[in-house]
């Protein structure tokens, strides 16, 4: 057995492989100890361990510097591996959400217990909003036309769906920027508290206020602002809360969404909003609760009626300030006779509106009644009648009998359905209801007029117009949206002269002359100043009508 007599030092390069470290046996007593060859480099020391058999074990003992560098290198590598793994995991999640789930969602929906679409931002925003309003007892109801259309088409399916039984999101998950809800303001008890809670839940909310038009006629309250719209954004989806206010005609009104100077125009895509482009008016809806995509919501009970109202809901206000200025210049007639006429005319208008509503016939304020609304926000006390307009295509064969059943006997009937129909009914206290039927042509509309004494017929020409809602004598009624053009066509006046004209149309006898004589008479009247308030002229006879047209 060989043994060691000396404790040897061996020099190894710092990069030497660990395989050369180990247990070695060198013969003793044969001169000086042998050296293990090495490549010149930095010296490392070896620890020598001798066992009971005189075998020696050599172990490498690194320096303090190398020990520190080794620990640092291991930490860096571990950090890099962790960061790379995390990045790869995030990429997998993103890829699955935006690509695989969209492509394979339909197939996955067949699997048992799956709920497809309920992770969409639209559904989550609506759910969070409903949770917020329910917890605060805020009675909102759904008015979004896109979602309501889908519900209306699938109402039987929706009606038979119970809470939590839906496996697929079909309504609130439809891609869109907004979901619209409405709120009746008089039922809202804690507006400021709700606003703070919404922001704490992650919503970014914008409150739109503007002055209350109902108070424009009251000097001390004019300019008072009221909330009109809320826009609450969660991530990329926005809840549009339309604030409905009660009006005296027992209907609901919402205001124009008009942005003030400090509002960020990029907060949401405002141009895509379904409500707020103009003020709107709606019948007060009866509500019902249903479950839609697993969420309990209130919707209008008569869905078809509400959806039909939306595109025709535009509302225009009476010009309260101008009416006050009118009465400052021309004192209002407050005699007993005038007050009695206003009362009778209002009752007649209410009765006529109720009768036409039962028939399903839309109408609007025409002639002197329309002038009274526009000029003085009321009934002209010396007009002695109520004037309404109806498109001839809305005429019903039972219209006369319906008015007679309502207590309004027929007084006159001029023309016929195909040509220049006009009906006149007798109301109480010698107040008359005149209904003019309008006929549409390619570029204009017209209604006929008949001279009672001679039977001569006339055409009154109007530019085409649309209908808007307004409030008149505590009623929601229609007027032409293009009101100025309509009144000018009816009375032939510029806006500056509205304060001095009566509600009567041009005198028919003065316009019944042959064309040539009429032109001469017209010129003479203008020279004398007699025609200055009636800038209408007759053009040559066409068929059996004398045509009346506004002079440009």
With beta carbons less than 8 A apart as the criterion, state whether 23 and 54 touch: no
80 or 364, higher pLDDT: 364
Q: What is the mean pLDDT of residues 139-146?
A: 96
Structure tokens at 349: 């208008």
The confidence score (pLDDT) of residue 535 equals 36
d(Cα 152, Cα 530) in Å, to the nearest integer?
60
Going by pLDDT thresholds of 50, 70 and 90, the confidence category of residue 115 is low
Question: Closest Cα to residue 408, out of 384, 392, 424, 385?
Answer: 424
Q: Which residue has the tokens 């492509």?
A: 103
Q: What is the mean pLDDT of residues 540-552?
A: 40
CA trace torsion 269, 275, 279, 283 (10° rounding): -170
Classify strands 536-542 and 475-480 as parallel, antiparallel or unpaired: unpaired
Per residue in 310-328, pLDDT (tens digit) is: 999 999 999 988 998 899 8
193-197, 373-377, 446-450, 502-506: which has the minimum mean pLDDT? 502-506
Q: What is the mean pLDDT of residues 335-342?
A: 93
The confidence score (pLDDT) of residue 530 equals 27
Q: What is the mean pLDDT of residues 349-355?
A: 97
Per residue in 452-507, pLDDT (tens digit) is: 778 788 889 999 999 999 999 999 999 999 999 999 998 876 544 455 555 454 43
d(Cα 411, Cα 469) in Å, to the nearest integer?
29
Question: b/e map of 514-535 (b: 16 or more CB within 10 Å)?
Answer: eeeebeeebeeeeeeeebeebb
Per residue in 37-80, pLDDT (tens digit) is: 444 444 444 444 545 554 444 445 555 655 655 666 777 777 77
Going by pLDDT thresholds of 50, 70 and 90, the confidence category of residue 169 is confident
Going by pLDDT thresholds of 50, 70 and 90, the confidence category of residue 119 is confident
Question: Closest Cα to residue 295, out of 121, 160, 178, 128?
Answer: 128
Question: Closest Cα to residue 475, out of 335, 352, 337?
Answer: 352
Q: What is the mean pLDDT of residues 286-295?
A: 93
Burial class (CB in 10 A: 0-12, 13-18, 19+), 335: exposed
d(Cα 151, Cα 129) in Å, to the nearest integer?
19
With beta carbons less than 8 A apart as the criterion, state whether 422 and 438 touch: no
pTM of the model: 0.70
Q: Which residue has the tokens 């930095």?
A: 42
Burial class (CB in 10 A: 0-12, 13-18, 19+), 419: middle
Q: Which residue has the tokens 């620990």?
A: 71
The confidence score (pLDDT) of residue 508 equals 34
d(Cα 456, Cα 544) in Å, to the nearest integer?
8
Question: Closest Cα to residue 319, out of 499, 65, 117, 491?
Answer: 499
Handedness of CA 348, 350, 353, 358 (dihedral sign): negative
Question: b/e map of 23-52 (b: 16 or more CB within 10 Å)?
Answer: eeebeeeeeeeeeeeeeeeeebebeeeeee
pLDDT of 267 strictly over 80: yes
56-65, 232-241, 259-268, 515-524: which has the minimum mean pLDDT? 515-524
Q: Max alpha carbon distance in the chain (Å)? A: 158
Structural domains in the chain, sorted by start:
121-312 (3.30.460), 320-497 (3.30.460)
Residue 455 phi/psi, 5° resolution?
A: 80, 5
Question: Closest Cα to residue 118, out of 174, 168, 161?
Answer: 168
Going by pLDDT thresholds of 50, 70 and 90, the confidence category of residue 403 is very high
d(Cα 143, Cα 297) in Å, to the nearest integer?
11
pLDDT of 103 strictly over 50: no
The confidence score (pLDDT) of residue 174 equals 86
Structure tokens at 347: 């009752």
12-16, 225-229, 269-273, 396-400: which has the minimum mean pLDDT? 12-16
Strand blocks (E) in 71-125: none
d(Cα 425, Cα 408) in Å, to the nearest integer?
6
Q: How far is CA 236 from CA 98, 178, 372, in A?
A: 15, 9, 48
Q: What is the mean pLDDT of residues 349-359?
A: 96
With beta carbons less than 8 A apart as the criterion, state whether 502 and 491 touch: no
The confidence score (pLDDT) of residue 523 equals 33
With beta carbons less than 8 A apart as the criterion, state whether 422 and 451 touch: no
Q: Could you tell me how many residues make up the chain?
A: 552
Going by pLDDT thresholds of 50, 70 and 90, the confidence category of residue 308 is very high
Q: Considering the chain, what percentage of its residues have pLDDT values greater than 70?
A: 69
Average pLDDT, the chain: 77
With beta carbons less than 8 A apart as the criterion, state whether 349 and 317 touch: no
How many helices (H) and strands (E) would you count in the chain?
A: 13, 23
With beta carbons less than 8 A apart as the criterion, state whether 395 and 417 touch: yes
Helices (H), 310-393: 320-329, 336-359, 367-376
Other C-beta atoms lying within 10 Å of the C-beta of residue 96: 12
> For residue 237, what are the contacts with CB-CB under 8 A and spacing of at least 6?
121, 122, 125, 177, 178, 179
pLDDT of 104 strictly over 80: no
Structure tokens at 304: 């078809």
Structure tokens at 189: 């008890």
d(Cα 201, Cα 197) in Å, to the nearest integer?
6
What secondary structure letter does DSSP report for 44? Answer: B
pLDDT of 183 strictly over 90: yes
């Amino acid at each position: 057995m060989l043994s060691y007599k000396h404790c040897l030092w061996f020099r190894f390069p710092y990069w030497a492989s660990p395989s050369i470290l180990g247990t070695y046996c060198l013969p003793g007593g044969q001169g000086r100890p042998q050296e293990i060859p090495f490549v010149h480099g930095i010296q490392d020391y070896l620890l020598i361990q001798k066992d009971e058999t005189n075998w020696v074990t050599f172990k490498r003992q690194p320096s303090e510097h190398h020990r520190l560098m080794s620990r640092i290198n291991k930490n860096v590598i571990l950090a890099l591996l962790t960061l790379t793994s995390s990045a790869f995991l995030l990429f997998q999640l993103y890829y699955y959400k935006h690509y695989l789930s969209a492509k394979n969602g339909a197939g996955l929906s067949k699997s048992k217990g799956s709920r497809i679409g309920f992770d969409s931002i639209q559904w989550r925003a609506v759910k969070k909003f409903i949770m917020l309003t329910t917890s605060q007892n805020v009675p909102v109801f759904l008015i979004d036309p896109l979602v309501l259309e889908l519900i209306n088409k699938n109402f039987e399916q929706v009606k038979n769906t119970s809470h939590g039984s839906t496996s697929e999101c079909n309504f609130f998950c439809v891609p869109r920027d907004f979901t619209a809800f409405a709120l009746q303001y008089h039922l809202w008890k804690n507006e400021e508290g709700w606003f703070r809670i919404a922001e704490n839940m992650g919503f970014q909310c914008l409150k739109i206020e503007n002055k209350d038009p109902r108070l424009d006629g009251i000097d001390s309250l004019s300019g008072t602002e009221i909330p009109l719209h809320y826009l609450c954004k969660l991530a990329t989806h926005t809840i549009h809360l339309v604030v409905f206010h009660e009006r005296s005609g027992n209907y609901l009104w919402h205001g124009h969404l008009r942005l003030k100077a400090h509002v960020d125009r990029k907060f949401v895509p405002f141009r895509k909003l379904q409500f707020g482009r103009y003020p709107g008016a709606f019948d007060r809806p009866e509500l019902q609760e249903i479950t839609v995509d697993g969420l309990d919501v209130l919707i209008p009970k008569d869905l078809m009626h509400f959806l039909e109202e939306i595109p025709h809901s535009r509302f225009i206000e009476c010009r309260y300030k101008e009416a006050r200025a009118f009465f400052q210049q021309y004192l209002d007639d407050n005699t007993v006779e005038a007050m009695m006429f206003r009362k009778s005319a209002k009752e007649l208008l209410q009765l006529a509106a109720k009768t036409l509503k039962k028939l399903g016939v839309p109408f609007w304020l025409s002639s002197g009644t329309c002038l009274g609304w526009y000029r003085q926000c009321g009934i002209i006390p010396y007009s002695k009648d109520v004037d309404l307009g109806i498109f001839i295509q809305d005429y019903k064969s039972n219209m006369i009998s319906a008015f007679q059943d309502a207590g309004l006997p027929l007084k006159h009937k001029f023309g016929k359905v195909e040509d220049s129909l006009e009906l006149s009914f007798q109301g109480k206290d010698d107040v008359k209801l005149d209904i003019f039927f309008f006929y549409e042509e390619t570029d204009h509309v017209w209604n006929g007029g008949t001279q009672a004494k001679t039977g001569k017929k006339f055409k009154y020409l109007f530019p085409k117009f649309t209908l808007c809602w307004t409030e008149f004598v505590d009623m929601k009624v229609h007027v032409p949206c293009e009101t100025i053009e309509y009144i000018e066509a009816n009375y032939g006046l510029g806006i500056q002269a509205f304060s001095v004209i009566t509600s009567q149309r041009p005198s028919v006898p003065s316009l019944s002359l042959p064309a040539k004589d009429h032109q001469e008479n017209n010129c003479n009247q203008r020279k004398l100043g007699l025609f200055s308030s009636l800038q209408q002229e007759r053009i040559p006879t066409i068929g059996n009508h004398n045509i009346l047209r506004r002079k440009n």
